[in-house]
Amino acid sequence: MAVTPIRLFGDPILRKPALEVVDFDKELRKLVEDLTDTMLEAPGAGLAAPQIGVGLRVFTWNVDGEVGHLVNPRLDLSAELQEGPEGCLSLPDLSFDCTRALSVVARGFDMHGEPLVVTGSDLLARAIQHETDHLDGILFIDRLDAEARKAAMRAIRESEWFGLERPMVKVSPHATNGLGF
For residue 129, being part of any structural domain is answered with yes
Question: Domain for residue 170, yes or no?
Answer: no
| 165 catalytically annotated | no
128-142 b/e (C-beta count within 10 Å ≥ 16 → b)? bbbbbbbbebbbbbe
Indicate which CATH number applies to the domain containing 146: 3.90.45.10
Which is higher by pLDDT, 24 or 166? 24
**Structural domain of 22:** 12-86+93-158
Say whether pLDDT at 163 is over 90. no
Reported as a single tens digit per residue, the pLDDT across 85-127 is 999 999 999 999 999 999 999 999 999 999 999 999 999 999 9
In a domain, 54, yes or no: yes
Position 166 in a domain: no
Q: What percent of the chain has pLDDT over 70?
A: 90
The Cα–Cα gap between 84 and 81 comes to 10
1: in domain: no
Of the pLDDT bands very low, low, confident and very high (cuts 50, 70, 90), residue 178 is very low
* Cα distance between residue 53 and residue 39, in whole Å: 14
| Contacting residues for 125 by C-beta, under 8 A, at least 6 apart | 78, 82, 100, 101, 102, 103, 104
Higher pLDDT, 101 or 1: 101
Number of domains, the chain: 1
Which of these is catalytic: 33, 86, 131, 147? 131
**What is the tens place of the pLDDT at every residue in 124-160?**
999 999 999 999 999 999 999 999 999 999 999 998 8
Entry pTM: 0.87
Q: Which of 5-9, 52-56, 176-180 has the lowest average pLDDT?
A: 176-180
Q: Is residue 130 part of a domain?
A: yes
Q: Does the residue 174 lie in any domain?
A: no
User: For residue 164, is it within any domain?
Assistant: no
Give pLDDT, residue 2.
84
